[in-house]
Amino acid sequence: MVNAVHTRRAAKSLRLNAVFAALADQTRRAIIETLSRGEARVTEVAEPFAMSLNAVSKHIKVLEEIGLVRRRVVGRDHYLTVAAQPLHEVEEWITRTRKYWNTRLDAMEALLREQEAMDGDADAK
Amino acid sequence: MVNAVHTRRAAKSLRLNAVFAALADQTRRAIIETLSRGEARVTEVAEPFAMSLNAVSKHIKVLEEIGLVRRRVVGRDHYLTVAAQPLHEVEEWITRTRKYWNTRLDAMEALLREQEAMDGDADAK
């Protein structure tokens, strides 16, 4: 049971490695941005980039392999969509990490308010 | 002016590449998670990992180089803190991208409601 949880966590951690690595490239992030506006053809996705269709296709394949992008084939047309789940996992990690900062910031603010109140008392005397 | 904006954007994009790449490693993410709970000594940060202090130090250096972690030296003690700004930039990118999905989801829901209303009308006749 503990092992199953451990294995699931390890798998999630490796998947998160792959998603972060895939997003460490401005072309791949731009592809995700384009697709987040809606489904698009491979040729439409490739259009704004100053690189060959083949080069863009390679980036798309990386995104497909880690499940960030899905492909739907209709005859000769290839349509791409973005898959929210892997991005959601990245966001979840950031949110979880940030929760601690907020707690720390709240504690610091409380301390500052206390200090100010004490300073105010001292002034009043 | 346009060039200055362009250069700034390109620099931000390259920084984001480096931040995503740095986070594509579970040890480095775990270091950030530890430090997000508060300032800690290098030795404290290294403790939970089944690797040498030297190996952990290398990961810490990567995080320092891209500004995710700051170091404060007091005599022989090295204290580390996490810097929020680069993580905030990652979050910003995700939020910006997700805004579009939400808009699309809203539009889809509106269409579904319309369809349901039309189906309801047809049933009533």
Among the partner residues B14, B29, B84, nearest to A101 by beta-carbon distance: B84
Q: Is B38 left (phi over 0), alpha (psi -120 to 50) or beta?
A: left
Note down pLDDT in tens along chain B; length 125 residues.
567 888 888 888 999 999 999 999 999 999 999 999 899 999 999 999 999 999 999 999 999 999 999 999 999 999 999 988 888 899 999 988 887 766 666 666 677 777 778 777 665 55
pTM, to two decimals:
0.79
Whether the pLDDT of residue A2 is over 90: the answer is no
DSSP H helices in A24-83: 26-36, 42-46, 53-65
Residues of A with Cβ-Cβ distance to B26 under 8 angstroms? 13-14, 16-17
Judged by a CB distance cut-off of 8 A, whether residue B102 touches chain A is no
**What number is the average pLDDT over the span A92-106?**
76
Among the partner residues B21, B24, B36, nearest to A97 by beta-carbon distance: B36
